DNA sequence: TTGCGTGCAAAGGTTTTGCATGGCA
DNA sequence: TGCCATGCAAAACCTTTGCACGCAA
């Protein structure tokens, strides 16, 4: 799905996500937020826009708790985020950006030994971060 | 939830899962399989038993980012079988199960050098598989 | 016999889809 | 003006829950 026209809802959704970097939101939470501002945005619109943002690499989608609704988080659209790796803490929700030789090694290994061309930008490592383990 | 009685459905479900190691199944697929054998097992029963198997560590549950239904996979109760990884091909949709020293190395690295306790079962590597790259 | 597990159906919740309308270009 | 995006409602899905019945121990 590609955007042809730029709309007010689009801008407001993106603005909201950008203003809360590092936070993750469900579609319902986003709808509620705008409702509190007396701005109604249809649920379908929220899902459709989020899907586009994800395609563009500006937003990342997570499924944290099994069965719960999906979470969305602004990660910016720059190459910066496609070249490094993301760890998501399942306890505090923090998204950790990591640039590490070990992971680059893995990328090479997957490609050369398994023929798998890894899309780093879409992959999220789930786990528990150092702070939450203490 | 704990099992008190041992039932036929329980045994048949576990037998089916064990007979397909390395394969992933949705609840619907499992139901369909038994239907083809003219054995009816209620959807609720399937979910309830799967939940128990997961609690026991015999089966692993995982979700893909697509928000599809949950997948279940027999991993046995032993340590050796819990340490494998999932690669998802974005083109053909195939889920690849990989057991590889390199990935185990990464697990150790993340823990020891970054303090990150990786939940392998929840992580899926996205990319393009060897067959689709040709 | 006791009470847990099962199957059915209905409920609950999230996400998608169809369609008429409104708004961007 | 021509389409696309929106909003609403309904549909489509997946999963859970309530309840009466059957079966294991």
Indicate which CATH number applies to the domain containing A96. 3.30.1490.190
pTM to 2 decimals? 0.84
CATH assignment at residue A52: 1.10.10.10
Residue A125 CA to C9 C1' — how many Å? 40
- Among residues A35, A56, A78, the one where a domain terminates is A78
A70 and A28 fall within a common domain: yes
Do B19 and B72 sit in the same domain of this protein? yes
Query: Which single residue has its CA nearest the C1' atom of nucleotide C17?
Result: A44
Do residues B74 and B95 both lie within one domain?
no
Which of chain B's residues have a Cβ under 8 Å away from the Cβ of A114? 87, 98, 100, 130
Question: What sign has the CA pseudo-torsion A4, A23, B88, B111?
Answer: positive
Q: In terms of DSSP bridges, do strands A71-74 and A59-62 run parallel, antiparallel, or are they unpaired?
A: antiparallel
Which residues span the domain enclosing B58? 8-78
- Domains contained in chain B, number: 2
Residues B8-43 pLDDT 10s: 999 999 999 999 877 889 999 999 999 999 999 999
- How far is the alpha carbon of B3 from chain A, nearest alpha carbon, in Å? 22
With CA atoms as reference, the chain B residue closest to A114 would be: B130
Angle at A13 between CA A55 and CA A71, to 5 degrees: 60
Q: What is the pLDDT of residues B73-123, one digit of tens each?
A: 888 755 544 567 888 887 777 778 888 888 888 999 999 999 999 988 778
Last residue of a domain, one of B38, B58, B78: B78
Q: Are residues A18 and A57 in the same domain?
A: yes
For residue B49, report the phi and psi dihedrals to the nearest 5 degrees.
-70, -40
User: Among the ranges A18-22, A130-134, B36-40, which has the highest mean pLDDT value?
Assistant: B36-40
Mean pLDDT of A4-24: 92
Question: For residue B107, is it within any domain?
Answer: yes
Answer yes or no: do A90 and A109 share one domain. Answer: yes
- Report the DSSP pairing between strands A124-128 and A85-89: parallel
Spacing of A3 CA from D1 C1' in Å: 20
Question: Listing from the earlier edge strand, what are the strands of the sheet with A25-26?
Answer: A25-26, A71-74, A59-62
Strand D and A40 CB separated by under 7 Å: yes
């Amino acid at each position: 799905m590609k955007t042809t026209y730029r709309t007010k809802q689009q801008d407001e959704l993106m603005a909201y996500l950008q203003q809360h970097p590092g936070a993750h939101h469900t579609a319902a939470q986003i709808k509620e937020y705008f409702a509190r501002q007396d701005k109604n945005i249809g649920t379908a619109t929220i899902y459709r826009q989020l899907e586009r943002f994800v395609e563009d690499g500006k937003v990342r989608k997570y499924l944290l708790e099994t069965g719960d609704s999906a979470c969305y988080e602004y990660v910016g659209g720059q190459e910066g985020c496609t070249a490094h790796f993301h760890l998501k803490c399942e306890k505090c929700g923090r998204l950790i950006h990591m640039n590490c030789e070990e992971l680059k090694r893995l990328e090479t290994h997957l490609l050369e030994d398994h023929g798998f061309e890894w899309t780093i930008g879409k992959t999220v490592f789930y786990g528990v971060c150092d702070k939450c383990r203490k």
